[in-house]
């Protein structure tokens, strides 16, 4: 059992049911989040501990005005990622040429609209979630890194800032140590340096306090 997952999962799905309308609302209320999609969310939760910026059954329109749905859309200030979970079974061998062509057109339409696409098979999510998470974190880290200002930051500095960005500007040191996988004293040295240079602010009275991305730096990344 993942600590805190079930409660936040229910809140996440309910939130989007309440905020959605039309066909998206019907899909969420009648179909909800499927088994494969829930496994994806479990994998996401292990890596991030929240579902910020993530939208299930996200509706977009193609160039013909038709509604299309993305399993999970991750929408940030300057980029957007479409995560798709692909099923597997004998029925997929019988996909019609029309269905195949329509799916390829959907992919091209999303790419043309500026979406970054990432696909996982059901088997990957079920049998190798750790690798899937690494690929997700690598993709998001790379996209975030493109906009980390003109100031010179080391590779570790950038990883810490990316971590803050993916966690609403908050760094909890225990979680950061787990993600960075380097000695906590080394991480603390970089945190202190980022505080001194104005990137982070700290809260608390010990090494276990949390850090917050400086609001002036945060404005470099959030437009609203």
pLDDT score, position 10: 92
How far CA 75 is from CA of 55, 62, 71, 143, 216, in Å, comes to 8, 18, 13, 12, 21
Q: Please give the model's pTM, rounded to 2 decimal places.
A: 0.69
Residue 96 reports pLDDT greater than 70: no
pLDDT score, position 124: 95
Largest Cα–Cα distance in the chain?
63
**Higher-confidence position of 22 and 149:** 22
**Higher-confidence position of 172 and 74:** 74
Domain limits of the chain?
A: 5-139, 149-218
**CATH number of this structure's domain 149-218:** 1.10.10.10
For 69, the 3-state DSSP assignment is: strand
CA atoms within 13 A on the CB side of 45: 17
pLDDT score, position 154: 80
How many Cβ atoms from other residues are within 10 Å of residue 108's Cβ?
Answer: 12
Q: What do you get for the CA distance between the two ends of the chain, in Å? A: 36
The helix (run of H) or strand (run of E) holding residue 180 is helix 173-180
Residue 57 reports pLDDT greater than 70: yes
**Higher-confidence position of 41 and 100:** 41
Tens of pLDDT, residues 146-203: 555 545 678 788 888 888 888 878 888 888 887 787 788 888 899 989 998 888 988 7
pLDDT score, position 127: 95
* 6: CB partners within 8 A, 6+ apart: none
pLDDT score, position 216: 64
- Distance CA(99)–CA(101), nearest Å, equals 5
> 21-30, 100-109, 173-182 — which one is most confidently predicted on average?
21-30
- Distance CA(224)–CA(219), nearest Å, equals 8
Residue 222 reports pLDDT greater than 80: no
CA atoms within 13 A on the CB side of 222: 16
């Amino acid at each position: 059992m993942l600590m805190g997952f079930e409660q936040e999962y229910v809140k996440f799905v309910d939130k989007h049911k309440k905020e959605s309308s039309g066909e998206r609302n019907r899909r969420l209320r009648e179909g909800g989040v499927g088994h494969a999609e829930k496994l994806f969310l479990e994998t996401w939760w292990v890596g991030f501990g929240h579902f910020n910026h993530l939208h299930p059954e996200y509706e977009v329109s193609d160039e013909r005005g038709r509604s299309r749905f993305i399993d999970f859309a991750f929408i940030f200030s300057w980029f957007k990622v479409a995560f798709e979970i692909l099923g597997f079974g004998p029925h997929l061998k019988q996909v019609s040429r029309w269905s195949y062509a329509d799916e390829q057109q959907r992919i091209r339409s999303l790419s043309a609209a500026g979406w970054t696409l990432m696909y996982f098979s059901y088997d990957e999510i079920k049998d190798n979630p750790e690798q899937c998470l690494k690929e997700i974190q690598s993709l998001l880290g790379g996209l975030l890194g493109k906009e980390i200002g003109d100031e010179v930051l080391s590779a570790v500095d950038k990883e810490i800032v990316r971590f803050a960005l993916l966690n609403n500007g908050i760094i909890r040191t225990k979680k950061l140590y787990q993600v960075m996988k380097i000695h906590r004293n080394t991480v603390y040295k970089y945190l202190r340096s980022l505080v001194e240079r104005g990137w982070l602010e700290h809260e608390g009275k010990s090494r276990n306090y949390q850090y917050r991305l400086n609001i002036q730096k945060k404005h470099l990344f959030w437009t609203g």
